[in-house]
Amino acid sequence: MKSPFRPNDAPDASVLDVHRPLIRSLERRGLLRGGLTLGSLVMLTGCDVKRPEAVEAALLAISNLNDKVQALLFDPNKLAPTYPDSMILRPPKFNAYYDVTDVKPVNGATWKLELSGLVQDKRPWTLTDLQALPQSSIVIKHICVEGWSYIGGWTGVPLRTFLERTGADLRAKYVAFKTADNYPSSIDMAAALHPQTLLALQYGGQQLADPFGFPIRLRTAVKLGYKNPKWITAIEVTNTYPGGFWESKGFPWFAGM
């Protein structure tokens, strides 16, 4: 039986061939590439699907709108589910944009955390400095955009505490991170101030191991996994959109949960 959703006049299938280089360039496998079917392309109303830049602009506009809707729906007081210590996966799952053999361990003795932007006290922080701040522990689920997840136990300095201690402008829009593995990232201030957002120093009660971000990494329960940069070397508070590693390749920026 013919589907009631199938149009009587099928669109021109050559549209997919015309846009194949663009689709590949998006570097997104799976759902996105599958989502760019002939049907979804022609559903981009008001968009000339024969012009690749028009398709890209339309997708980006939808993604940006998606970010804004998620920001509107975000409840800064709502806590993500937590779990008992017995459910912590030890060791955690490694993931990066390269394999583990390419991890470059950071020397904690010489490491410093640089600060910039809308922060009153821009003194660099050492690991000892951070360890002296009040710590908090959370057992939360790490959810990757790839579809996998695990429960991890993290201890560290609440990012809110750190931002308050350094005199950051908490009305600023963004908190941006630079890392030793060249994985820039950024989150909105509301997520940065959420009680389940940490500058994590420990996993499962032990100092972070090298492949998991020693000496510090971000762990937030309110964002997808790719918004949790490891091996952080600098933090900037800013009102200028900072983007991020995957965001520059087309991933959504807000990535909330």
State the residues that interact with other proteins by CB under 8 A. 27-32, 35-36, 40, 59, 62-63, 65-66, 69-70, 73, 89-103, 144-148, 150, 209-211, 226, 246, 250-252
Cis check for the bond before 242: say yes or no (omega within 30 of 0). no
CB of 105 to other proteins, least distance (A): 8
Query: Which residue, 9 or 99, has its beta carbon nearer to other proteins?
Result: 99
CB of 167 to other proteins, least distance (A): 34
CB of 135 to other proteins, least distance (A): 23
CB of 45 to other proteins, least distance (A): 12
- What distance in Å separates the CA atoms of residue 150 and residue 142, rounded to the nearest whole number? 5
What are the Cα distances from residue 206, in Å, to 50, 137, 150, 212?
Answer: 55, 12, 18, 12
CB of 83 to other proteins, least distance (A): 14
First to last CA, the chain: 39
Query: Which residue, 70 or 82, has its beta carbon nearer to other proteins?
Result: 70
Query: Which residue, 2 or 104, has its beta carbon nearer to other proteins?
Result: 104
Q: Evaluate whether 175 touches 240 at the Cβ level (below 8 Å).
A: no
Q: Which of 195, 201, 118, 213 is nearest to 158 (CA)?
A: 195
The two three-digit tokens of residue 21, written as one number? 């280089």
At residue 62, φ and ψ (nearest 5 deg) are: -65, -40
Query: Which residue, 208 or 237, has its beta carbon nearer to other proteins?
Result: 208
Query: Which residue, 6 or 78, has its beta carbon nearer to other proteins?
Result: 78
